[in-house]
Amino acid sequence: MAFALNVPKLSFTGEGAVEESVAILSQKNLKKALVVSDKNLVDLGILDSLFSALKDADFDYVVFSEVTPNPTASLVRKGASFYKESECDCFIAVGGGSPVDCAKAIRIVTSNEGDICDFDGVGLVKNEGAFFIAINTTAGTSAEMTSNSVITDEDNAVKMVIVDAKQIPDIAVNDPTLMIGLPKSVTAATGMDALTHAIESYVTPGAHTLTKPTALEAIRLIAKWLPVAVEDGSNLNAREQMACAQFLAGMSFNSAGLGLVHAMAHQPGATHDLPHGVCNAILLPVVCEFNSETNPEPFRAVAEAMGGITFDLNDAQAATLAVELINKLSIEVGIPSGFSELSIAETDLEVWIDKAMADVCLGGNPRQPNPEEVLALYKKAM
């Protein structure tokens, strides 16, 4: 079976990327965009450059700014109704993973029959949908260029992972000027999310010659530039390097897959509305240690990409070094040390196990756990 490398038709990176994407949009036979974002970004003026570009191009738009972290199925339904009532014919998402994923989901239900909950899983989207520009404002999720969307089914307290290449935006935009001033906590969480994408996609059995180099370069860039971006949010070069790093990580995991970290991290995000990147960061060293017990060899390259010296170490020692470097980076950028710091109790863990075992990301893990092992890993991450 041939390997499929799925990426957007066009990607713009760097200052002026927003205006370049609007210039392409204005050449299409389209009339009105639904701009999907969150109220905080609108109030902060993050969308001002987009609004100005759309006005200069005489392109009509309406704004759906009700997106919250961990967007829900009911929010998607509301956005889809607004899209239809406003007679829109294209999408522009602005934000991190939540607005972009919400826009992806709205796009699905406005071009396919059924409820958003009908598309949970892999390859269930029949129609691609309207023209779609995704403008990224964080350096972590890679949502602007991937085939995944994560939507919370609040009725069942589970995060749905919708995977289909038809979700990939037509244009991906990474303008680092939109990331200036991003809070330290968000910068850290989204950066560790990107690191998780890169590491999981490197060690997965689905990794390929076309994805491994991008994963390792993403790891290298994140290890170097994430502490800089966290410490000095106005450093434009650090912001752009992190934007490139998370894009490279997205190129890797979008085709190679993810693993147990994501399968486990989705659950506390669904039940306790915790930041996805923080959940990933807490679980990443724990799961890496678990995976390296049966196959430590890939973690040598991870350690080296993070700046570790491994020439005098065996594979097991190199894997231990990789875990140590991940922990060190988490501490440096201010990630909580465990779920107990986030008001999670051990009694909460049992609810997550079956859902983690059923998560679509689990299939990409190099070591398949049993429920008892998943519980033990959650406890270790407390």
Q: Is the dihedral of CA 248, 255, 278, 97 positive or negative?
A: positive
Instruction: Please report the pLDDT score of residue 278 as a whole number.
Output: 96
Total count of residues recorded for the chain: 382
Residues 54 and 61: their CA atoms lie apart, in Å, by 8
Chain segment 272-295, per-residue pLDDT in tens: 989 999 999 999 999 999 999 999
pLDDT at residue number 21: 97
Q: In what order do the strands lie in the sheet with 10-13?
A: 10-13, 171-174, 131-136, 90-95, 32-36, 60-64
Handedness of CA 135, 140, 141, 143 (dihedral sign): positive
Q: Give the SS3 label for residue 127.
A: coil
Burial of 229 (0-12, 13-18, 19+ CB in 10 A): buried
Q: What is the average pLDDT score of the chain?
A: 95
What are the backbone angles phi and psi of residue 357, rounded to the nearest 5°?
-65, -25
Contacts of residue 372, defined as CB under 8 A and 6 or more positions apart, other chains included, come to none
Mean pLDDT on 158-182: 93
Angle at 239 between CA 105 and CA 12, to 5 degrees: 55
pLDDT at res. 273: 87
321-352 per-position pLDDT tens digit: 999 999 999 999 999 999 999 999 999 999 99
Domains in the chain (CATH in brackets) are: 10-179 (3.40.50.1970), 184-380 (1.20.1090.10)
Residue type at 295 in one-letter notation: N
pLDDT at 1: 80
| Largest Cα–Cα separation, the chain | 65
Of 1, 364, 4, 9, which is closest to residue 210 (Cα–Cα)?
4
Residue 120 · residue 161 · CB < 8 Å: yes
